[in-house]
Amino acid sequence: MTLRAFAVQLIAFLSIAVAMPASAGTHDAVQTTWRLLDYIAVDYTEAVSGGEVTNELEYAEMQEFSASVAERMAALPANAHRAQLVAEAEALVESISTKVEPAVVARDARRLASELIAAFPVPLAPEAAPDLARGAALYAQNCASCHGVSGGGDGPAAEGLDPPPIAFDDVVRARERSAFALYQVIGQGLEGTAMPGFSDLGAEDRWSLAYYSGSIAFEDVERGRRIWNDDPEIRARIPDLAALSGLTPATLGEAISTERADAVMAYLRAHPEAMASDTTGSLALARKRLQQSLAAYEAGNEAEARELALSAYLDGFEPLEAVLSTRDADLLASVETGMAELRAAIGRGDPLAAVAQRVNALDVLFYRAETVLAPDNASEASAFAGAFAILLREGLEALLIVIAMIAFLRKAERTEVLPFVHGGWLSALVAGGLTWVAATYLIGISGAGRELVEGFGSLFAALVLLSVGIWMHGKSQAGEWQRYIQKTMQHALSRRSAWFLFGLAFLVVYREVFETILFFAALWTQGHADAILGGAASAVVLLGLIAWAMLRYSRRLPIGTFFAYSSILIGILAVVLAGKGISGLQEAGLLGITPLPDLPRVPILGIAPALEPVAAQILTLALITLGYWRNRTKGLQVRTPQAESG
């Protein structure tokens, strides 16, 4: 049975369960039989291998459990499916008796379990997302004594138990367990073991405990979050809690690879509430985080409220930011401003009514954003325009800096250093590709992590460009270039200076590549791959033409004029990056926000409606102005004695 068919069947089973509920006795019998089949599917592999018994005790247990399944099937109420179920159960007994390979037994046991639920429906999923914090508390209270505090099966009461308690941190075994299987065992216990049933726990608590214990073996939550947000096909495979609860990581791994399945299950079992935002373009998770933030603020917990408001942006909104920027940039600016003002209001301790008003205003903006992001609004034209605009915008800043470096070296007739510059930006492209591979297949890059990389990268680049701009302006003054040539440039640039140029080229290009990758990953989920590639290719062509024109024009400029123009350009870029750097650190939650509501947001200039990035840009501009003034004063002082001596 395919995963999609199984998910559809689960939904059908739930509908039947509502219309034709089984009696309490039948309900319990079906659950117990299903649980035995699940146990056989998982544990038979420890009893038989290559047609030989490898564990006598385990094999005897498999024989006992399969016989019990056949007996229980025969005792179920008569209906159109019972005879077939009994026949398949007896066939399973025969397979185990003849020591059939584990893969065959596991397949047959799982198929029979699915058919059993189809014939005698029982609830397969929680009514609402399980509470992992509640599950952790229940685990510590009821399970840790045997299974261990960290799930290693080594609790103080485990000694002497036969069979020993399950080690929940055993990832190989955990891959074979669905949350529904764990829920069943928690409620009814496990025959032949010391595992008791916890029927006194309500269904909600049993689901919370099942999801918590099922999450212990899977740790790569951040990578799973990234995969879930970026891959619509995976979201389509797991459409709701019913599908998630009945799904084993091993089954998912057959479709998307074991490593990716482990990461996705790590995220979804740790954050089942994410199922509320599985639709492309949905901001349900952002809404939920905002409501939780408001509740925490009302309870007087400002720190938690601030963290939840930040999570609403980083986890709920930012994954869709790139696509929204290509469809409605003004709406994106309104949402970003609203989120920043909300965090600032919480930080200031504004009245509850004022904070609630901001949350409600954001809710309205989210609905507008969902309309814009709806799949019906995705087209080849919008995909092409989005890819073109993203690559052109992100590539232009890096291009201007790298071209200025290349033009400088050519003017200075130091082309032997050009390989360091070319090596820097080419290495940045390679590193960007490796970043994409790592973020997609190895690790997860959280929203905060992305903002920190962009923020610190922008600030460092701004500092470097600030010093370079002032230096270049100084060389544009009369006589300064000639003196520089006489003192320095008759010798090759030092190896240290060459590696500095390599580092600068790498930094400015990698920062833009990093951000471009994140934008394109989000854009790619919307489909229209050919249009996206076409837009990117068009942007590359245009960037190439700009580079060619700049290099050609720079050759015709007198050296002093070239340095003057270059210093102005680099100074502007330093101001832009200073604003972007501070904004990135604010979006990561590292710096506070003082909103300036009347100031427009101009991303291309790094202008954000907040005091801190504006102040950073003003400070950068002031330092540039001071440096240029000192250069000019020094130039005048040098020219005056020369004029007098002439």
Better pLDDT: 4 or 33: 33
Mean pLDDT of the chain: 77
In tens, the pLDDT along 285-300 reads 788 888 888 888 988 8
- Residue at 262: amino acid letter: D
Provide the angle, in degrees to the nearest 10, between the axes of the packed helices 102-119 and 24-43: 170
DSSP per-residue string spanning 325-360: HHH-HHHHHHHHHHHHHHHHHHHHT--HHHHHHHHH
Q: Where are the domains of the chain?
A: 27-117, 130-275, 278-371, 378-484+494-635
The 10 Å Cβ neighbour count of residue 268 is 28
CATH fold label, 278-371: Four Helix Bundle (Hemerythrin (Met), subunit A) (1.20.120)
Angle subtended by helix axes 380-411 and 495-524, to nearest 10: 180
Phi then psi for residue 607, to 5 deg, are -85, 125
Which pLDDT belongs to residue 623? 87
Question: According to the model, what pLDDT value does residue 642 have?
Answer: 47
Q: Residue 445: pLDDT above 60?
A: no
Residue 586 C-beta-side C-alpha neighbours within 13 Å:
27
Which homologous superfamily does the CATH classification assign to the domain defined by 130-275? Cytochrome c-like domain (1.10.760.10)
27-117 and 278-371 share one fold: yes
Lowest mean pLDDT among 262-271, 311-320, 356-365, 439-448: 439-448
Give the mean model confidence (pLDDT) for residues 452-456: 61
* Eight-class DSSP state of 168: T
> What percentage of the chain has pLDDT greater than the value 90?
12
Query: 19-28, 426-435, 527-536, 620-629: which range is least confident on average?
Result: 19-28
- Reported residue count of the chain is 646
Indicate the pLDDT class of residue 240, thresholds 50, 70 and 90. Answer: confident
Cα-Cα-Cα-Cα dihedral sign, residues 439, 530, 316, 6: negative
Sign of CA dihedral 197, 201, 203, 207: negative
How confident is the model over 159-175, as pLDDT tens digits? 888 888 889 999 998 99
Which tokens go with 219? 């740790």
326 touches 382 (CB < 8 A): yes
607: nearest Cα among 588, 586, 585, 580 = 580
pLDDT of residue 262: 94
DSSP state of 199: T
Nearest 5°: phi and psi at 201? -75, 140
Helix (H, G, I), strand (E, B) or coil at 233: helix
Whether 251 shows a pLDDT value over 70: the answer reads yes
Classify burial at 385, counting beta carbons within 10 Å of its beta carbon; exposed 0-12, middle 13-18, buried 19 or more.
middle
Amino acid at 367: Y
Closest CA to 429 of 395, 385, 393, 468: 395
How many Å apart are CA 378 and CA 388, to the nearest integer?
A: 15
Strand partners, 602: 607
Closest to 474 measured CA to CA, from 464, 484, 465: 484
Q: What is the mean pLDDT of residues 95-99?
A: 93
Amino acid present at 126: P
Residue with tokens 């002093």: 560
Q: Which of residues 176 and 385 earns the better pLDDT score?
A: 176
The per-residue DSSP string of 27-69 comes to HHHHHHHHHHHHHHHHHGGGTEETTEES-HHHHHHHHHHHHHH
**Angstrom distance (rounded) from CA 385 to CA 538:** 10
Q: How many CB atoms lie within 10 A of CB 403?
A: 20
Structure pTM?
0.40
The fold of the 27-117 domain, in CATH, is: Four Helix Bundle (Hemerythrin (Met), subunit A) (1.20.120)
Strand partners, 610: 595
* Beta-carbon contacts of residue 226 (< 8 Å; ≥ 6 apart): 439, 440, 444, 445
- By percentage, how much of the chain surpasses pLDDT 70? 76
**SS3 state of residue 610:** strand
Pairwise CA distance, residues 347 & 303, whole Å: 8
Which carries the bigger pLDDT value, residue 351 or residue 503?
351
Spatial contact of 219 and 267, defined as CB atoms under 8 Å apart: no
**How far is residue 282 from each of residues 319, 366, 375, measured CA to CA in Å?**
11, 9, 11
Query: What pLDDT was estimated at residue 118?
Result: 75
Sign of CA dihedral 159, 161, 167, 170: positive
CA pair distance 319, 331, nearest whole angstrom: 15
